[in-house]
Chains A and B, each alone.
Chain A
Amino acid sequence: MPVNYMLPEFEVERSDYRCIRCRVCERQCSNGVHRYDIDGDVILSDEYKCVDCQRCVCLCPTHALKIKKNEASLRENFNWKQNTILEIYKQANTGGVLLSSMGNPEPFPVYWDKILINASQVTNPSIDPLREPMETRVFLGKKPHDITRDENGNINTELPPQIELELPVMFSAMSYGSISYNAHKSLATAAEALGICYNTGEGGLHEDFYQYGKNTIVQVASGRFGVYKDYLEAGAAIEIKMGQGAKPGIGGHLPGAKVQADVSKTRMIPEGSDAISPAPHHDIYSIEDLRQLVFSLKEATDYKKPVIVKVAAVHNIAAIASGIARSGADIIAIDGFRGGTGAAPTRIRDNVGIPIELALAAVDKRLRDEGIRQNVSLVVGGSVRSASDVVKAIALGADACYIATSALLALGCHLCRTCQSGKCNWGIATQDPELVKRLNPETGKERLINLLTAWKHEIKEMMGLMGINSIEALRGNRLMLRGVGLNEKELEILGISHAGE
């Protein structure tokens, strides 16, 4: 049917003058966009297949390529946007749920960009981080409410188990299966070098990566893939995944095609079988149930590992967090609605959940109000894009941030948002060995280290200009923040004043 024809989203612009017919574009495109035609000595493009991942653009040695938004368009309509119409065509063609990946791309407000940071002037002098000590180390876990002493009057120094981080940033959960072996290796080795943690996601822990255990957070999700005693004991902490920002309230589905030898072994499921994570944990219907799982995991690991409970930022998040803080969990991780994913139904990714900035502020306030803020550390994720986002998150009350999209970008991701195809040209979201090898984990490790080393410098600079010399002193320090272009309600939830106040 003619209506089946979908306008290509992109246009490949090839400078014929520059093109030297080296065919690297053809060799590197896993989507088969480029094809050399020997008769015409010309490279042809099948633009319909292009996802704008920029692989060809980056590798073209003469910079002959540009990928542009296709100018050919449907008649403009503010209400019926082109994409909306095309999605309807797609669904009419296939009858299927629309799938997409990575984070919500829709123009919802980004509160990080409406918050500004204070600086010391005249009084309360700023600090030069290159001259004076500046502490970015943080400990995540339950802190005592009061100072207690033993019978001899000595202060009790024994703390519940903690995660120690050299800077308040961790790589958040991405499973082996959703991302490649080399991506995992890059994250694991970088985390080790940086003195932070990465997170297995719910795909289990590949046997090669047990050696990075002290920098690993092992996840227990509704599918329980790859979970067994050694796995729980391997990590620095255990994370119970209740929800994910990109797709709150639904489960996950790794297609059988991606469950190949090593993935199947790591997930402990048969090769080729679909890995389906149920929407809920079938044993958790209340905070009391959650408490049981928290303590089961603590019991299994001899109370040596902090337990994280990760939830998506949704309505009533403050109440939910309050419940979790009372469940025995050591850390609450909250994932905002712009968080990424390897695959999610488009409608869910783009319409469910709330911004992390509001969730964080609401949770921190609620826990303080209830006097249980010390019970837990707060980790937030869901599109933390820069050192300033980290600083703002901490000032809003977070103990640390989870980053994933930023980390993937450092590894080469160009946010084409087609992870679900499994044909990631950058060797990240794929299990095809020919594609996986495109990410050399040595390079990956270096780039991640570079990124967070840069962030660490920037965090110190920003702390210094506020006259603050430790993360501890910045945490929840909302006086350091001001809003711009926010309404009264937003400012109230964020707990900050407007700029100029």
Chain B
Amino acid sequence: MKRVYVHEEWCLGCHLCEYNCAFSNSGLTDMVKALKSKKITPRIHVEDDGRIHYAVSCRHCEDPLCIKGCISGALSKGADGVVTIDHDKCVGCLSCMLLCPYGSITTDENETVLKCELCIKNGGIPKCVEGCPNRAIVFEEVEE
């Protein structure tokens, strides 16, 4: 399956992926309207110590621990391999956050659990990838 992969050597630490993600998942068509004066809660985040930077988002693991730990069945892996969350089912226990080895699960200010769903609900091409100015984030198939 195609996943989002991150090339640390090309990451500029510009954090644009975070904003593109937040915009993509806002449901709005104008970035200014979507993000102006808001604290963003993107599903991808850049880890940065000033020297090294790279983005982290859901790895869509082969055998996702978050799903094993989910107490409400809100997380599932579709036939396409994408791990998605059903917010109607999620109760916000954060077991997925306890189990994700990569720190890819996050929440918004209302404690709604957020995770990357590869923009399958936003047109299919991850916006973090589209907006990355240096191809540090790519959407491709990698041999397993």
Contact = CB atoms under 8 A, between A and B. Distances in A.
Q: Does a CB–CB distance below 8 Å link A and B in the complex?
A: yes
Interface of A: 17-18, 20, 22-24, 27-28, 58-59, 61-62, 434, 437-438, 440, 442-443
A59 B16 contact: yes
**Which of B11, B18, B20, B35 lies at the interface centre, i.e. has the most chain A CB atoms within 10 A of its CB?**
B35
Given A20-B36, A437-B134, A62 B31 contact: yes
A443 B133 CA distance: 10
A434 B13 CA distance: 10
Contacts of B119: none
B32 interface: yes
A100 B78 CA distance: 58
Contact of B135 (A24, A61, A434, A443): A443
Given A20-B32, A20-B36, A443-B135, A61 B10 contact: no
Contact of B32 (A62, A437, A440, A442): A62
Contact of B19 (A18, A61, A434): A61
Interface string B10-31: 1111111011100100000001
A41 to B, nearest CB: 8
Contact of B14 (A20, A28, A442, A443): A28
B137 to A, nearest CB: 11
Nearest to B133: A59
A440 B15 contact: no
Contact of B15 (A17, A18, A27, A437): A27
B63 interface: no
Contact of A61 (B13, B20, B134, B136): B20
A438 B136 CA distance: 10
B131 A443 contact: no
Contacts of A17: 32, 36
B62 interface: no
A20 B34 CA distance: 9
Q: What are the 5 tightest A-B residue pairs by CB atom distance, in nearest-first order?
A: A20-B35, A22-B19, A440-B134, A24-B14, A440-B10
Interface of B: 9-16, 18-20, 23, 31-32, 35-37, 131, 133-136
A98 B37 CA distance: 44
Contact of A24 (B16, B23, B31, B35): B16
Given A440-B135, A442-B135, A443-B135, A28 B32 contact: no
A440 B7 CA distance: 11
B8 to A, nearest CB: 10
Contacts of B13: 27
Nearest to B131: A61
A20 B134 contact: no
A109 B134 CA distance: 38
Contacts of A20: 19, 31-32, 35-37
A183 to B, nearest CB: 14
A303 B39 CA distance: 68
A321 B87 CA distance: 76
7 contacts: A20-B32, A20-B35, A20-B37, A59-B16, A61-B131, A62-B31, A437-B12
A442 B35 CA distance: 32
B102 to A, nearest CB: 23
Nearest to A15: B32
Contact of A59 (B14, B18, B37): B14
Contacts of A18: 32
A438 B15 contact: no
A22 B16 contact: yes
Contacts of A62: 31-32, 35
B12 A28 contact: yes
A33 to B, nearest CB: 15
A150 to B, nearest CB: 56
Contacts of B31: 20, 61-62
A189 B104 CA distance: 36
